[in-house]
Structures are given as C-alpha cells and as structure tokens.
Amino acid sequence: MNLETFIRLPRLWQWGGTPVTFDVDGVPTLFPGEDCTTFAASWVKAVCGVDPAADLRGAYDTAEGANAVVASAGGIASLVESRIEPLGWRRTEIVGDGAIGIVSAISGADQTLKEIPAIRFGPLWAVMGPRGAMAKKLDWTGVAWRLP
C-alpha cells in the first residue's frame, strides 16, 4: 500500500486505538480507531507487517492513560524508538516520505502543544486528529526514523 492510500483510509479517533489487520494486499480489513501514536504504528505495520503498538491498543482509553504510557517510556521519542528500531527503522536527519518523526502540534484533545509521532508526506506531516487523518505543515523536532 502506498502512503497516500494509507493516509486517506477512513479512521475514527480513539484513545489507544483498536487492533488493525491487513489483507494480503496491505488493505485494512477493519477500519481502525486511532490516536496519534497508534496511527504512526499502523503505518509501521503497513510497511513491515508487525504492529509495534499491538500491546498498547486498547490498553488505555483516556488522555491520562496515554500520558502515563508515554511517561513510563521516558517520553514520546523513547516510546517510538523502543518499538520501531527492533523492526529495522533507524534514526535519521533526512526525512522523506514515510519517515516517522516527532512533531509539535496542538492536540485536538485538549488544545495544548504536544510532541506527537507523525508520518512524513511530501513537505507535510500526516497525523491523526479528532476528524481523522490529515496532512499539514507542522514543526519537526529533529527526531525521526526511516527504513534503510
């Protein structure tokens, strides 16, 4: 599945997300609920076949629960890194389509500035928001990973 198709798939906002499954062509067989972290993890699964957030899906259902998961991992960058580096993703300073990066964005949940995982899409970053996936210009923190 290409990145544009992935971003355009229908999704619902849901803290903690729901398990996502793909058919042999990489198309979801269930349109998942996603938050910003599970959205990026679903892209990793679409590319690698392994869901780095499988154990987190359904494990929290509030902003407080999400914040606790992030805090226990030592921050959002540490959480993402610990889950995608074992799948072959490597830190990079060059972000191209499909890279996972940490961006600063206004949270749709509480309207505060947060650091969240996003997927590079051309000159934009794709993120999950209350109305679904969207791509927009966001401030990149300088932390990103890509497949070699």
The yes-or-no verdict on residue 20 having pLDDT over 70 is no
Contact 12, 130 (CB under 8 A): no
Q: How much is the average pLDDT of 18-36? A: 74
The yes-or-no verdict on residue 57 having pLDDT over 90 is yes
Every domain of the chain and the residues it spans: 3-146
Do the strands 132-136 and 124-129 form a parallel or antiparallel pair, or are they unpaired? antiparallel
What pLDDT digit, counting tens, does each position of 105-139 carry? Answer: 987 667 789 999 999 999 999 999 888 899 999 99
Amino acid at 16: G
Q: How far apart, in Å, are the Cα atoms of 116 and each of 25, 122, 123?
A: 28, 18, 17
Question: Cα separation of 77 and 80, whole Å?
Answer: 5
